[in-house]
A = this chain, B = another copy of it.
Amino acid sequence: MMPKYVFRTITATEMRSVNRSAVLDYIRRNSPAARSMMAHDLKLSLPTVMRIVDELIEKGWVRPTGVKEWSGSRRRDLLEYHKDGHAVIGVDLGGTKMFGALANIGGEIISELTVNGHGTSGEASYAMLVEIVEKLCAAPRARGQKIRGIAVGAPGVTRAPAGIVEWAPSLNWREYPLKEKLERQFRLPCVVDNDVNLAALGEQWFGAGDGASNIVLITLGTGVGAGLIIDGVLYRGHTESAGEVGLLLSNRAELDQQYDKFGALESIISGTGIAERARTCLAGSLPEDRLAQITAQDVFDAYRRGEAWSRAVVDETVDYLSIAIINISTLLDPELVILGGGVSESADVLLPRVQARIQNILPKTPTLKVSTLGRRATVMGAIAQVVHLTSDYYVARKLA
């Protein structure tokens, strides 16, 4: 019988990794930071902070600012996150578009590349991904940073530790060993993860996350998905499909239906679903070809202009999005709910109304924000994951 055990052990070197991770995280979030301040806040002795900082400087994660800070007498030497210490490649592998970026570890994009409507699948998609990465590798890097790793967000179920894409319908990939292939091709550390998971990490590190430990990112685009940051750490679920909120049910009748490609909630509040409902409303009053071109964006524009037909569509979207957020918040009690994806560009219409509905029901309302990274969220999360991977990120917690 296989033994059952859940918790891992650590060595002295890993203890250092835990502490190094905490210091790096502190500096990233609080640049510029002083050693003595960190020693105080992080409850480490000054010599330990010194040693860790020396290591971080040596490895290019952190650097002295040159500036010194007055705090009573001898000035503190200030340190900052060394954004340009390393370069990283992140790719958001969409079903219809691919978006790749070469960026520094501060999340500043050096060079980016979009392929719209690539229309590929299977091996052709892989070839296109390789081409994008190659171009980004070749892009000029003013400060001469080395590329430290590649992370890819895939639209579908992934098994992140193994780096396998289990099932990505739009690319027609099944059990696709993407990480292994990329590592062999580029000889760099690679991470493969779900696109929405990475987007959530991106917002935590560089976007609307703002130091919160419990974050839900809801993306409303072609489909609907959620990324969960729980107690500071990305949560993937038992079979790595946590956050597949497209399948959420909002009424009893939905129990009797079948959902092959699109889930119940997805068919209502995704961009696709919104456009679909608009077509039903406008059927007959517009020519067929115009009807086919309607997007969610058009619906919100019409709503802003006060066109009557859009009213019901937007109302329904507001209601079902509210139900989803209420149910997610009820279950998870996050500090922050971030709205992302294409539809979030219409947040001016949605957000105030959703907020009102939520406050009406929930005793404790999470903060509701719009993604600040937009379509770059996944790529930013990719950068975060490369930092996790290459800086040996460990975290420790005490229970009870």
**Residues of A that sit less than 8 Å from B by CB:** 3-10, 12, 14-15, 17-19, 21-23, 25-26, 29-30, 33, 37, 41-44, 191, 210-214, 226, 228, 230-245, 247-252, 255, 258-259, 263, 319-320, 322-323, 326-328, 330-335, 357, 360-364, 366, 385-386, 388-389, 392-400
A319 to B, closest residue via Cβ: B252
A11 to B, closest residue via Cβ: B15
Contact of A328 among B17, B236, B331, B393 (CB under 8 A): B331
- Separation of A259 and B6 alpha carbons in the complex (Å): 39
Can you list the 9 inter-chain pairs with the closest CB atoms, starting with the nearest?
A237-B333, A388-B400, A4-B211, A238-B335, A242-B333, A389-B400, A393-B399, A251-B251, A15-B15
What are the residues of chain B within 8 A of A334 when measuring CB–CB?
A: 237-238
* Residue from A15, A37, A258 with most neighbouring chain B CB atoms (10 Å): A15
A20 to B, closest residue via Cβ: B9
Q: A332-B331, A364-B241, A393-B400 are in contact. Are A18 and B22 (CB under 8 A)?
A: no
A237 to B, closest residue via Cβ: B333
Contact of A396 among B14, B212, B248, B327 (CB under 8 A): B14
What are the residues of chain B within 8 A of A364 when measuring CB–CB?
A: 239, 241
Contact of A395 among B7, B25, B326 (CB under 8 A): B7
30 pairs of residues in contact across A and B, judged by CB atoms under 8 Å: A3-B37, A5-B25, A5-B26, A5-B41, A5-B211, A8-B42, A8-B395, A9-B18, A9-B22, A9-B42, A9-B396, A10-B396, A12-B12, A14-B396, A17-B398, A214-B238, A226-B331, A231-B235, A238-B334, A239-B364, A241-B333, A241-B363, A245-B330, A249-B250, A252-B319, A327-B331, A331-B332, A389-B400, A393-B399, A395-B399
Taking the nearest CB of chain B, how far is it from the CB of A234, in angstroms?
Answer: 7
What are the residues of chain B within 8 A of A30 when measuring CB–CB?
A: 3-5
What are the residues of chain B within 8 A of A328 when measuring CB–CB?
A: 331
What are the residues of chain B within 8 A of A250 when measuring CB–CB?
A: 249-252
What are the residues of chain B within 8 A of A242 when measuring CB–CB?
A: 331-333
Taking the nearest CB of chain B, how far is it from the CB of A387, in angstroms?
Answer: 8
